[in-house]
């Protein structure tokens, strides 16, 4: 694929990937999916994303020093989410922009995300949200849309800082305290209610009243994103209260466009 004009003014380089296709006709591009690369270095990640036959790609890659590389035009369907699901949508790739954030991930030590890198992610996302009218609550983690397969960008990713700049939906997590918990093997109305709430937020979860392995995977994904202080797949009172706060504050799906005001600096 020949080089193309970047969609974002923050792009420092275009490295075209051959791995993309047509978006499904008539489907809006109204989701942003954030990933980490999960590889040992930037060069290996870009090679994976930009080599024919690997069957993976992303629209953007954000380097540790804040530089942004575009690999697929936003108008095209990149192959970043894989088998995934959100709010009734199975073909997440057709309606999303994929952003890979260079980080070695859980299998390679999982370092902190540099502040300069996060500032670049915020600026990039804000531009996409304006252009594509993406609602804040549809800026998601890869683990949100594929909880059984993925952990990225993981519990160290600073969703709180993004939300402070209008990128993503976040509520301050309820404190972790001792109390009753819902866990693997349990059943009953409390579990049914939790499953209904997770499904209402957008997660693909069985609504059966049985706390099975699939439910545990979804609870774990929810905690990675919204209650990262303890990620164990056990629905304690903190997890449940945080979920209800998010549901109560979740906007309707008609997006309000952002202004072009620059995001505040990250302390």
Could you tell me if 137 and 102 lie in one domain?
Answer: yes
What CATH code is carried by the domain that includes residue 242?
1.10.101.10
What CATH code is carried by the domain that includes residue 156?
3.40.80.10
Q: Is position 212 within any domain?
A: yes
pLDDT of residue 1: 61
Query: Mean of the pLDDT values across residues 99-124?
Result: 98
Q: Among residues 223, 208, 213, 218, which one has the least CA distance to residue 185?
A: 213
Could you tell me if 119 and 203 lie in one domain?
Answer: no
Could you tell me if 45 and 105 lie in one domain?
Answer: yes
Looking up tokens 């930009």, which residue turns up? Answer: 50
Q: Is 100 a catalytic residue?
A: yes
Query: Mean of the pLDDT values across residues 78-86?
Result: 97
Q: Is position 33 within any domain?
A: yes
Q: Is position 198 within any domain?
A: yes
pLDDT of residue 214: 98
pLDDT tier at 252, thresholds 50, 70, 90: confident
Query: Which residue of the set 100, 155, 171, 217 is catalytic?
Result: 100
Q: How far is CA 151 from CA 10, 92, 148, 169, in A?
A: 27, 17, 9, 19
Q: Is position 182 within any domain?
A: no
For 216, the 3-state DSSP assignment is: helix
Looking up tokens 């047509």, which residue turns up? Answer: 22
How many Cα atoms within 13 Å fall on the side-chain side of residue 236?
Answer: 16
List the domain range (segments joined by +) for residue 140.
11-164
Could you tell me if 52 and 160 lie in one domain?
Answer: yes
Determine contact, residues 187/211, Cβ cutoff 8 Å.
yes
| Whole-angstrom Cα Rg for the chain | 18
Q: Is position 178 within any domain?
A: no
Question: pLDDT per residue over 167-186, tens digit each?
Answer: 999 999 999 999 899 999 99
d(CA 101, CA 153): 8
Helix (H) or strand (E) holding 61: strand 60-62
Q: Is position 177 within any domain?
A: no
Could you tell me if 90 and 137 lie in one domain?
Answer: yes
d(CA 217, CA 233): 7
Question: pLDDT per residue over 196-234, tens digit each?
Answer: 999 999 999 999 999 999 999 999 999 999 999 999 999
Query: Is the entire prediction scored with pTM above 0.75?
Result: yes
Is-cis flag, bond preceding 153, omega within 30? yes
Could you tell me if 197 and 155 lie in one domain?
Answer: no
pLDDT tier at 257, thresholds 50, 70, 90: very low
Domain count of the fold of the chain = 2
pLDDT of residue 8: 98
Could you tell me if 111 and 238 lie in one domain?
Answer: no
Could you tell me if 101 and 216 lie in one domain?
Answer: no
């Amino acid at each position: 694929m020949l080089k193309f004009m970047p969609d974002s003014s923050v792009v420092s380089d275009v490295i075209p990937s051959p791995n993309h296709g047509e978006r499904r006709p008539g489907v809006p591009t109204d989701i942003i999916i954030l990933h980490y690369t999960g590889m040992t270095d930037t060069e290996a990640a870009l090679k994976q994303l930009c080599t024919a036959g690997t069957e993976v790609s992303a629209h953007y890659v954000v380097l540790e020093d804040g530089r942004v590389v575009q690999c697929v035009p936003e108008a095209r369907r990149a192959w970043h989410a894989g088998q995934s699901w959100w709010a009734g949508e199975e073909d997440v790739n057709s309606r999303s922009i994929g952003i890979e954030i260079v980080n070695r991930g859980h299998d390679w030590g999982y370092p902190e995300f540099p502040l300069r890198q996060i500032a670049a992610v915020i600026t990039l996302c804000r531009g996409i949200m304006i252009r594509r009218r993406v609602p804040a609550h549809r800026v998601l983690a890869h683990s949100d849309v594929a909880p059984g397969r993925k952990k990225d960008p993981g519990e160290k990713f600073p969703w709180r800082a993004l939300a402070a700049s209008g990128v993503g939906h976040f509520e301050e997590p309820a404190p972790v305290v001792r109390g009753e918990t819902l866990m693997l093997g349990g059943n009953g109305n409390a579990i049914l209610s939790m499953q209904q709430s997770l499904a209402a937020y957008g997660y693909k979860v069985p609504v059966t009243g049985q706390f099975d392995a699939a439910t545990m995977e979804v609870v774990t994904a929810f905690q990675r994103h919204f209650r990262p202080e303890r990620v164990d797949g056990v629905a304690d009172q903190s997890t449940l209260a945080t979920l209800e706060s998010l549901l109560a504050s979740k906007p309707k799906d008609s997006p309000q466009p952002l202004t072009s005001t620059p995001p505040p600096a990250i302390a």
